[in-house]
């Protein structure tokens, strides 16, 4: 085909993705050129028709520079229409096929208002969630109901005791689904009731976030059930359900609950030379996908994120993204009492302090343990 | 809590996951022990209650051995109930939290019939798909409609010419979604009609697989629309939609179309020391999630998979998994005429030969190009 023109007028509106590319200059430049093709037309470049497709659909290198020896940074732009006004296809353009190629990492992305307008993002965001919790500026505390295997009654008793101590958010452990030893509906009913009962005593608004991560054909029903039974929010692992599943639940006006994202099954994206940066994945993508708060493993815990990587997540959660609200990251994964002073210095009031197993370790009285941790954060 | 017993009788039925762990013996053994905890109770191990939870819910090291210097293999078993009879939770137990930890790779998994019975797997599988195509033993050929940006009319014309040449499967390029220059419904209608018209001439049953990867709240509707408009199958990128979304569509009796999975956004799982093996990801997981054929980048093309890795995908697609049917992997990604003899020697009739851009490169007559490739495979 010699030339192809679009049958209607299309303006050249574009969004930008910044990639880090490993390799010497020639290799990295060839990789950048390859990304332009792979992520748009995926077609022999010499056969790409002149006109609309070559001029606008084909990815375009906007800048290319050396970051440090062996690493280059390429800013590549794509036409907003390639993303089809959909989160699934936007993620596909950002990192679809090149997820399979080594030495490419998505550092960040910048979307113009013409694309952002299709994404509502988090319903509550930092401000909305703080308002629900009646805590406009103090550090927030969250914990998890565990271990898997306990009955719904025992988990609800834990929830009651946590809420009584002044916990802000109590989430299900991310492995609690619909197992017969604590099935979804019984667990959500009993835990919601337990937290409501404690809230009456404390006068606070502790929120219970059941885990609704589950089958495609049941997850929306679980969200509705959670809402009906009095849950205060929802926990979702988007790498298991798909990012857009979380987005759809966040967008659902009848559900209207805050959402906490969990990193289960997602770590491989940040663990190698190929992947997505902490900033873009846990900050930008979770946010664009509707999470109001985003769990990630804190530095120095059971996982391997560095302090700089963790701070970049907070930056991604707060960076200006048009009308998409900022969110509260929730560092967890092995937090203990001893870690709090250093964490407070790092994060101040920009995160939700998530302490799971550590709160059980502190001593047999769970309510006292919550008070103890709250005092450390005060 | 001193001891906890389940309130009803639970048999100790287990499934097994084999992990490769990098590190010396002491480090690797500690990692294996950590996996047992992280993937089940995620709780301080000293506080795990005796009885049911410690005896059955906690992961268990079944074997541990040196594979080669610096790499150990651990077989870890989990109770079948931890998976909650759900694909999302099964994947979570196999690789949820440890996706965030370095030096761990899922090599394979073995599920007993008590767990497999909850998963239908591919509706057609190798045998069913071959039967639909009227090709019980010969090598199969597939191609893609591209580049993005062309109108539905032009894509349909390509589809007609491909089908006329004897193509077996014509899929949308995985980036074609619902962009206004070739919106989903127009594209599917025109391409389905074009292929049907060619089939009348050839007497064959070429199948058109539109890409239905899209928003959570639209994908099922797109599957129904595709069925209604005469599509022969469906293309889904499960890393974008969630694996369970593909499973739900495969399980849907009213849709009842074969499914081809695409690897967009999934590569990071196989690209580093942390992740999932080619065998487990492209073979076992795609199959368990309902794909009848699974696209992956062939060795020696634009991507970086080795020949051994590619062969392991075929092995994973064929390994015995109870009543879950075997499937046909579809190596693609830069296949050209010159590659065919070597590929034939490697794969024989165990795959679908997927040639996208290469078929356009061959010459201006697309129908002749298909015949040319078919002859090479004959």
CB B179 within 8 A of CB B151: no
Separate counts of helices (H) and strands (E) for chain B: 16, 15
Q: What does the pLDDT read at residue B300?
A: 87
pLDDT grade, residue B139 (50/70/90)?
A: very high
Say whether residue A147 is in contact with chain B using an 8 A CB cutoff.
Answer: yes
CA distances from A172 to A73, A224, A299, A306, A373 (A): 40, 17, 22, 26, 19
Residue A339 reports pLDDT greater than 90: no
Average pLDDT score, chain A: 96
Tell me the average pLDDT across B288-314. 94
**Distance from C-alpha of B211 to C-alpha of B237, rounded to nearest angstrom:** 8
Among the partner residues A6, A181, A357, nearest to B181 by beta-carbon distance: A6
Say whether residue B356 is in contact with chain A using an 8 A CB cutoff.
Answer: yes
Contact check, Cβ <8 Å, A268/B276: yes
Which parts of A39-95 fold into alpha helices (H)?
A: 52, 87-95
Q: What does the pLDDT read at residue A80?
A: 98
Question: With contacts defined as CB-CB under 8 Å, which chain B residues touch A242?
Answer: 216, 240-242, 245
pTM for the full predicted model: 0.98
pLDDT grade, residue B294 (50/70/90)?
A: very high
3-state class (DSSP) for residue A276: strand
Question: With contacts defined as CB-CB under 8 Å, which chain B residues touch A304?
Answer: 100-102
CA closest to B335 among chain A residues: A44
Tell me the average pLDDT across A228-251. 98
Say whether residue B302 is in contact with chain A using an 8 A CB cutoff.
Answer: yes
Strand locations in A124-256, DSSP E? 140-145, 169-172, 207-209, 234-236
Average pLDDT score, chain B: 96
Q: What does the pLDDT read at residue B313?
A: 98
Q: What does the pLDDT read at residue B273?
A: 85
Among candidate residues A14, A15, A18, the one with its CA nearest the CA of residue A316: A18
3-state class (DSSP) for residue B13: coil
Residue B378 reports pLDDT greater than 90: no
Say whether residue B114 is in contact with chain A using an 8 A CB cutoff.
Answer: no
pLDDT grade, residue A301 (50/70/90)?
A: confident
Backbone φ and ψ for B253, nearest 5 degrees, come out as -65, -35
Question: With contacts defined as CB-CB under 8 Å, which chain A residues touch B302?
Answer: 34, 38, 101
Q: Comparing A63-67, A261-265, B5-9, B148-152, which segment has the lowest mean pLDDT?
A: B5-9
Question: With contacts defined as CB-CB under 8 Å, which chain B residues touch A96?
Answer: 174-175, 237, 240, 264-265
- Tokens 């289960």 belong to residue: A264
Half-sphere exposure of B129 (CA within 13 A, CB side): 36
Contact check, Cβ <8 Å, A274/B272: yes
A115's tokens? 């694309």
Say whether residue A328 is in contact with chain B using an 8 A CB cutoff.
Answer: no
Contact check, Cβ <8 Å, A240/B242: yes
pLDDT tens, residue by residue, B148-201: 999 999 999 999 999 999 999 999 999 999 999 999 999 999 999 999 999 999
Q: What does the pLDDT read at residue B353?
A: 96
Q: What does the pLDDT read at residue B2?
A: 81
Contact check, Cβ <8 Å, A175/B93: yes
Question: With contacts defined as CB-CB under 8 Å, which chain B residues touch A53?
Answer: 147-150
Among the partner residues B4, B217, B303, nearest to A100 by beta-carbon distance: B303
Question: With contacts defined as CB-CB under 8 Å, which chain B residues touch A36?
Answer: none
* Distance (Å) from the alpha carbon of A183 to chain B's nearest alpha carbon: 9
**Distance from C-alpha of A282 to C-alpha of A172, rounded to nearest angstrom:** 20
Among the partner residues A53, A180, A242, nearest to B149 by beta-carbon distance: A53
pLDDT tens, residue by residue, B303-330: 789 999 999 999 999 999 999 999 999 9
CB B235 within 8 A of CB B211: yes
Q: A2 CB contacts (<8 Å, ≥6 apart)?
A: A49, A50
* Distance (Å) from the alpha carbon of B318 to chain A's nearest alpha carbon: 23
pLDDT tens, residue by residue, B225-268: 999 999 999 999 999 999 999 999 999 999 999 999 999 999 99
* Distance (Å) from the alpha carbon of B79 to chain A's nearest alpha carbon: 11
Contact check, Cβ <8 Å, B173/A42: yes
Say whether residue B183 is in contact with chain A using an 8 A CB cutoff.
Answer: no
Residue A1 reports pLDDT greater than 80: no
Among the partner residues A85, A101, A361, nearest to B44 by beta-carbon distance: A361
Say whether residue A91 is in contact with chain B using an 8 A CB cutoff.
Answer: yes
Contact check, Cβ <8 Å, A92/B356: no
Q: What does the pLDDT read at residue B251?
A: 98
CA distances from A218 to A214, B87, B88 (A): 7, 12, 11
Half-sphere exposure of A308 (CA within 13 A, CB side): 1
Q: What does the pLDDT read at residue A373?
A: 93
**Distance from C-alpha of A163 to C-alpha of A186, rounded to nearest angstrom:** 19
Contact check, Cβ <8 Å, A88/B241: yes
Residue B30 DSSP label? H
Say whether residue A23 is in contact with chain B using an 8 A CB cutoff.
Answer: no
**Distance from C-alpha of A42 to C-alpha of B333, rounded to nearest angstrom:** 9
The dihedral sign for the CA sequence B158, B190, B180, A82: negative
Say whether residue B100 is in contact with chain A using an 8 A CB cutoff.
Answer: yes
Residue B115 reports pLDDT greater than 80: yes
Question: With contacts defined as CB-CB under 8 Å, which chain A residues touch B270?
Answer: 100
Q: What does the pLDDT read at residue B248?
A: 98
What length is written for chain A? 378
Residue B272 reports pLDDT greater than 90: no
A202's tokens? 């404390």
Contact check, Cβ <8 Å, B360/A43: yes
Among the partner residues B82, B150, B174, nearest to A148 by beta-carbon distance: B82
Q: What does the pLDDT read at residue B276?
A: 98
Say whether residue A214 is in contact with chain B using an 8 A CB cutoff.
Answer: yes
B291's tokens? 């794909």
Question: With contacts defined as CB-CB under 8 Å, which chain B residues touch A263?
Answer: 97, 99-100
Among the partner residues B52, B93, B99, nearest to A149 by beta-carbon distance: B52
Say whether residue A172 is in contact with chain B using an 8 A CB cutoff.
Answer: no
Tell me the average pLDDT across A33-54. 96
Indicate the angle between helix axes B152-164 and B184-202, nearest 10 degrees.
20
Contact check, Cβ <8 Å, B268/A274: yes
């Amino acid at each position: 085909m010699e030339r192809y023109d679009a049958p209607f007028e299309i303006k050249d509106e574009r969004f930008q993705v910044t990639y880090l590319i490993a390799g010497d200059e020639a290799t990295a430049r060839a990789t950048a050129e390859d990304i332009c093709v792979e992520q748009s037309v995926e077609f022999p470049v010499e056969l790409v028709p002149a006109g609309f497709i070559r001029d606008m659909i084909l990815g375009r290198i906007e800048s290319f520079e050396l970051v440090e020896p062996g690493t280059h940074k390429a800013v590549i732009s794509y036409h907003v229409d390639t993303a089809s006004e959909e989160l699934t296809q936007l993620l596909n353009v950002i990192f679809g096929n090149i997820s399979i190629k080594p030495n490419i990492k998505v550092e960040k992305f910048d979307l113009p208002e013409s694309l952002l307008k299709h994404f509502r993002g988090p319903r509550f965001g930092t401000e909305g969630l703080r308002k629900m919790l009646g805590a406009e500026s103090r550090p927030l505390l969250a914990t998890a109901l565990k271990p898997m295997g306990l009955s719904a009654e025992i988990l609800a008793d834990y929830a009651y005791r946590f809420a009584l101590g002044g916990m802000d958010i109590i989430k299900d452990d991310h492995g609690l689904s619909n197992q017969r030893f604590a099935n979804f509906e019984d667990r959500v009913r009993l835990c919601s009731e337990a937290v409501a009962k404690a809230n009456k005593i404390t006068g606070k608004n502790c929120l219970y976030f059941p885990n609704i991560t589950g089958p495609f054909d049941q997850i929306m029903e679980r969200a509705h059930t959670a809402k009906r039974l009095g849950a205060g929010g929802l926990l979702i692992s988007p790498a298991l359900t798909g990012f857009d599943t979380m987005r759809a639940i966040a967008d659902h006006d009848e559900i209207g609950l805050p959402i906490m994202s969990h990193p289960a099954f997602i770590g491989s994206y940040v663990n190698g030379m190929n992947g997505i940066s902490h900033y873009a994945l846990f900050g930008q993508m979770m946010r664009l996908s509707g999470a109001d708060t985003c769990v990630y493993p804190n530095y120095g815990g059971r996982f391997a994120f560095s302090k700089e990587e963790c701070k970049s997540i907070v930056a991604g959660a707060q960076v200006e993204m048009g009308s998409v609200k900022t969110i509260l990251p929730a560092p967890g994964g092995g937090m203990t009492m001893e870690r709090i002073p250093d964490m407070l210095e790092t994060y101040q009031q920009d995160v939700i302090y998530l302490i799971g197993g550590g709160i059980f370790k502190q001593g047999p009285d769970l309510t006292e343990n919550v008070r103890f941790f709250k005092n450390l954060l005060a």
